Structure 1
Amino acid sequence: MASVGIYCILVFFMLLLGDINPVCGILEKKVGDWQMIYRARSRNGQSVVNSYMKQGVASEQTETNPRCVSVNGRDQCRTNYRHSMIDRWDSSGVQKVRLELYKEGELVAHVVFNGKSTTSTSWFSKENVLSSNWFDLKEPNTEEGKQFSFFGYSNNDIDRRLYINKHWKGGCSFHKGWMVVVEGLARGNGCNYEVSLSYPVFLYTPHTYADFYGDFKREADVLVISVIANRVNAV
């Protein structure tokens, strides 16, 4: 009971900052019309795709740590945050979806998607892009190896997810794009830019245009997915 009391005190102070749901025992974050439905931290050993897709997980009902909805990577949380609304996507009336990348609490990249008539993964497509800090994201792309996929490219050696790629053919030095979530890499395989001691890593270009991954090698520490929807919580 003491832990619940402490949590409620934290809720009160965070409520003053307009951060989370005022109902004690429900952990949610809403900023304006945007409701957070997923939050992942880099290098925590947990697959972004698998935790996002894991049906039945309702972090807003079971998690009591406010750090789990923080955009600052220093606020560590033992699990990725997953709102149960993801399981009710079809009945939630999703209007827009926003993907954000943060580094030390600062927003470093974002893409806003049209969420109407989409599924919990199909919103992640070039056709649905409404706006982004990457101004060339919607430009025609006829280069070989282009990717714009939630599930990305995966085989026994490499796992590249939430992959927005402009060019892939010709070897690692020619890999060019906007962002990729690297979930794993077999020893001796993959490219130097995606080698890490721990996974997942969230790579992004800091420019307003696609660039060679090997050149920019920037890593965010928090990935957030939020929605504007008619109904986020179950009735």
Structure 2
Amino acid sequence: MRCRTHGAGLVLLLVLQTCRAGILYSGPPGQPNMDSYNDDDWEPVYRIYEGQDWDSHDDYTSQERSARDGDKDDSQFRSWKLDQWHHEKIHKVRVELYDDGQEVAEFEFEGTGQNLTGFFGQQTLRRSTYDDIPDGLSGRPFPGDDFSFDGDDDSRHWTVSSSHRGDCRNDDGWIQVVDKPRPGKDRCVCGYENVRKYPTIMYAKGNRKARWSDPTRVGHADMMQVSISHKPYAPRPVPQPQMPAPAPQPAYPPQQYPPQQYPPQSQPTHYRPQFAFETKK
């Protein structure tokens, strides 16, 4: 009985250590549930909901909104860790949009050496759910006119825009958050910005950009969340330079090979030893 109790305690200890490590096994031995592992790696630090009166720009940067106790439920909150970016060693940042409880858009960024707003750009982008946005390591330029936290207007923020040049009918992009305009500001408002709730979190449905004026291709997310990770990205292999191929040698047909010259056969040389005889006196 003692042996059985000791064995059960050992198994329980291993399970506890596995859970603390963030790896939960749900399949055959040796196959971890990677979804649980990845979820444990991310920590939410900011969350807003559509129509809940928070300003996605000002409240994100304001320390007055910080919650010292962290995220205890699914309500709106701002973590104090956003103000301790360098001390916290934040290496990854993820921006997620949810609609009806389902994730509809996601962007993941390099957070090392950045700050709470500087990470949001194409140069630091590592991946997204949109196929027509290249990441920052691809070497391809961003196919749009604005990818920034501040946006190009006092009420349009977290902007990933393809085109916004004054022609409202053809404005298109991937995501943007429309905040309540500041009073006393003269601004030209497009029809798609006349929203009933602030903030309004707009996103392009599917995996490509959409025209903001097309309600069949544009959705309004219920919630936007920013999460951080302290695990750095694995270094990408450095591509090795390609060595030039050797120049091809000309091929001669067999009949065009130059005739080989052989030296004339030399006659054998016979060695004749020389003897010196001394004459006796």
When normalised by structure 2's length, the TM-score is: 0.61
Instruction: Report the CA distance shift for 1:129/1:104 in structure 2 as closer, same or farther (over 3 A).
Output: same
> What is aligned with 1:209?
208
1:77-116 equivalence runs, <5 A = 80-116=76-112
> What is aligned with 1:220?
221
1:203 alignment partner, SS class: strand
> What is aligned with 1:47?
55
Instruction: Report the CA distance shift for 1:41/1:50 in structure 2 as closer, same or farther (over 3 A).
Output: same
Instruction: Report the CA distance shift for 1:45/1:86 in structure 2 as closer, same or farther (over 3 A).
Output: same
Q: Percent identical across equivalent pairs?
A: 25
Q: 1:177 aligns with which of 160, 173, 176?
A: 173
CA offset digits 1:150-179 (Å, max 9, x no partner): 011224xxx100000011114101211100
Q: How much has 1:207 moved relative to structure 2?
A: 2.1
Q: Is the 8 A contact 1:161 1:181 kept in 2?
A: yes
> What is aligned with 1:24?
none
1:88 alignment partner, SS class: helix
Q: Is the 8 A contact 1:101 1:220 kept in 2?
A: yes
What is the rounded CA distance, in whole Å, between the counterparts of 2:186 and 2:118 in structure 1? 32
What is the rounded CA distance, in whole Å, between the counterparts of 1:93 and 1:63 in structure 2? 19
What is the rounded CA distance, in whole Å, between the counterparts of 2:54 and 2:166 in structure 1? 30
Q: Is the 8 A contact 2:133 2:143 kept in 1?
A: no
Counterpart of 1:95, as a letter, is: H
**Which of 1 and 2 has greater Rg?**
2
What is the rounded CA distance, in whole Å, between the counterparts of 1:219 and 1:167 in structure 2? 19
What is the rounded CA distance, in whole Å, between the counterparts of 2:143 and 2:175 in structure 1? 18
Q: How much has 1:85 moved relative to structure 2?
A: 0.3
Residue range with higher mean Cα deviation, 190-199 or 118-127 = 190-199
Counterpart of 1:41, as a letter, is: Y
Q: 2:74 aligns with which of 64, 67, 80?
A: 67
Instruction: Report the CA distance shift for 1:62/1:112 in structure 2 as closer, same or farther (over 3 A).
Output: closer
Unaligned runs of 5+ in 1: 1-17, 19-29, 69-79, 231-235
Counterpart of 1:128, as a letter, is: T
Instruction: Report the CA distance shift for 1:116/1:212 in structure 2 as closer, same or farther (over 3 A).
Output: same
> What is aligned with 2:45?
37
What is the rounded CA distance, in whole Å, between the counterparts of 2:149 and 2:71 in structure 1? 26
> What is aligned with 1:154?
153
Unaligned runs of 5+ in 2: 1-21, 23-37, 135-139, 232-281
> What is aligned with 1:15?
none
> What is aligned with 2:8?
none
Instruction: Report the CA distance shift for 1:53/1:153 in structure 2 as closer, same or farther (over 3 A).
Output: same
2:180 alignment partner, SS class: strand
> What is aligned with 1:130?
126
What is the rounded CA distance, in whole Å, between the counterparts of 1:97 and 1:183 in structure 2? 22
> What is aligned with 1:77?
none
Q: How much has 1:137 moved relative to structure 2?
A: 1.3
Q: How much has 1:57 moved relative to structure 2?
A: 3.8
Residue range with higher mean Cα deviation, 210-219 or 133-142 = 133-142
Q: Is the 8 A contact 1:56 1:87 kept in 2?
A: no
> What is aligned with 1:12?
none
Counterpart of 2:74, as a letter, is: R
> What is aligned with 2:238?
none
| Alignment size in residue pairs | 185
| Higher relative contact order, structure no. (Cα contacts within 8 Å, ≥ 6 residues apart) | 1
Counterpart of 1:202, as a letter, is: I
Residue range with higher mean Cα deviation, 175-184 or 53-62 = 53-62
2:69 alignment partner, SS class: helix
